[in-house]
Amino acid sequence: MGWKDILRPIRDGLRDNLPSKQPHDNPKKNVRRQQDLLKGFTYFDSFQNIDNWHPDQAYSFQRANTPLLPRSGSTVVKGKSNITLIHDFSGNYHDYENVHGSFVDQPSYSGEYMQSIDTFVYFSHKLNSSKLVCVPPPSWTNTLHRNGVKALGTFLVEPQSVGISKILHRSLADNQIWEYALATQLTHIARFYGFDGWLINIEKTFPIADWSLQCLQGFLEQLRSSFDDGCVIWYDSLTCKNTINYQNELTEHNILLAKAAGSILTNYVWTAESAARSKAFALQNGFDPVKVLCGIDVWAQSSEGPGRLRVTYPKEIGGGTGTGLGVAKLAEVGLGSGLFAPAWPYEHFPSQSDSEAVERSMWTGNPLPETLRCSCTVSDRHSIRNYMTEPILKNAHEYPAGSENFFYTDFKQAFKQFVCPSGTAEKNRAVAGLVSKSVLPRPVLYAGAQKTLFSQGKQAHLAS
């Protein structure tokens, strides 16, 4: 443990005692919040906001109205990985996610491969100061539930967040069981707005005087007991020793918090060796390896500007069009996959046709367009070797379409072309209807993806 680890909790304790600006002190932010509310968006930027929240404050259109449709039983196939998406798309809460629908210049990310998605986490850096609770827009929750996908919100504590010790506050209930007020309120929020659980991401140490591993475990255990299995996920940042130290695997420094939550999402700088260690450590400690989700940074393949490149598995070519290579390795090991920022094609590529083509390439192995253009400083950065042989879908656990009781689809997509009253279609205008997106046909893998990369013993050059 270095000096920074020792001093950080002291600094954070002093910062927590400083007076903070309340949301109403920022008129611009308050106006934006009211505009977002009318679109069906809900988020909280302080512990006080969470404490003061009551269902009477919300409009009915802010709530999802489609229950999670249970998927039909599917045989667990060895060599496949459960996919969790951590949807962080340029701040999120975009106009196209408006629950009432909206006009947009062009289609955007709408999650085209639902049959291979287990869980979808809505993650936002929308607010410029404290970002605490991100509630999935009802447009997303409805379409995810219609496809049998679990929708999770995010509880995000960052270094500038104030009042973190409230997480640990507890009181003795009448049944002589400790009750954590924040866990109770987060449960009420999720149930009221109609989503299924939480990703808990704490990127700040607790003040030394308030720190208690036992209380943090209790907070997570209470939250976990309120939701279905796998619907509370702990992120690999804060350790059991109250330090910020990304492990990138399951270790003695995060196992107790992973057990308390029921699942863990590791940071994305893992290796083939550390993934194998995670599985072995999970088995040694009675933890289901499937509940270990190893992060894959889809943005890692981009090389914009002179800064240091981000790294994810496999080193140098991971993420982007190489995302499926990471999924393939995790499927081989027997762990879950957590894909950070799956909407990358729609942020990184300026052309709509290129965005859609790159997304297909990532998931199905289709060839990239020869005319592909982006802002990367390295030529042909995304035309990596083997990107067509190991797309995401090849090694993802696939679920049967529809629910266990019925199947229905009207093939409705999230976007359609805008047609004027005169009957003329406008080229550069579309109508967004994410909220009513239906179950879509199963995508087909490109022919090149039928070749198995790892079974041919060629993984040596991918190991980092």
pLDDT bin (cut points 50, 70, 90) of residue 126 is low
At 63-99, the pLDDT tens digits run 999 999 999 876 567 899 999 999 999 889 989 889 9
| pLDDT attached to residue 7 | 56
Q: Check whether 376 has a pLDDT greater than 60.
A: yes
Tokens of 187: 């449960």
Tokens of 211: 């720190």
| pLDDT attached to residue 441 | 87
Query: 112-143: b or e for each residue (b if 16 or more CB lie within 10 Å)?
Result: ebbbbbbbbbbbbebbebbbbbbbbbbbbbbb
pLDDT bin (cut points 50, 70, 90) of residue 28 is confident
Across residues 457-464, what is the average pLDDT? 38
**Phi/psi of residue 259, each to 5°?**
-65, -40
pLDDT bin (cut points 50, 70, 90) of residue 293 is very high
Domain count, the chain: 1
Angle (CA) 457-458-460 rounded to 5° is: 100
Instruction: Give the CATH number of the domain where residue 275 resides.
Output: 3.20.20.80
Across residues 275-290, what is the average pLDDT? 98
pLDDT bin (cut points 50, 70, 90) of residue 15 is low
Across residues 397-425, what is the average pLDDT? 78
Does residue 14 or residue 273 have the better pLDDT?
A: 273
Across residues 217-229, what is the average pLDDT? 97
Q: Which range, of 204-218, 224-238, 301-315, averages the lowest pLDDT?
A: 301-315
Q: Average model confidence (pLDDT) for the chain? A: 87
What span, in angstroms and rounded, lies between the C-alpha atoms of 369 and 152?
34
CA distances, 245 to each of 214, 236, 337, 457 (Å):
19, 8, 20, 34
pTM of the model: 0.89
| pLDDT attached to residue 451 | 57
Q: Which residue has the tokens 């042909």?
A: 380
Does residue 420 or residue 53 have the better pLDDT?
A: 53
Q: Do β-strands 150-157 and 197-202 pair in parallel, antiparallel, or remain unpaired? A: parallel
At 248-265, the pLDDT tens digits run 999 999 999 999 999 999
Does residue 91 or residue 156 have the better pLDDT?
A: 156
At 428-453, the pLDDT tens digits run 677 877 888 888 888 888 876 765 54
Across residues 390-417, what is the average pLDDT? 87
Across residues 373-399, what is the average pLDDT? 86
| Neighbour tally for 276: CB within 10 Å | 16
* DSSP per-residue codes, 227-251: S-TT-EEEESSB-TTS-B---SS--
**What residue numbers bound the domain in which 402 lies?**
3-462
At 160-201, the pLDDT tens digits run 899 999 999 999 888 889 999 999 999 999 999 999 999 999
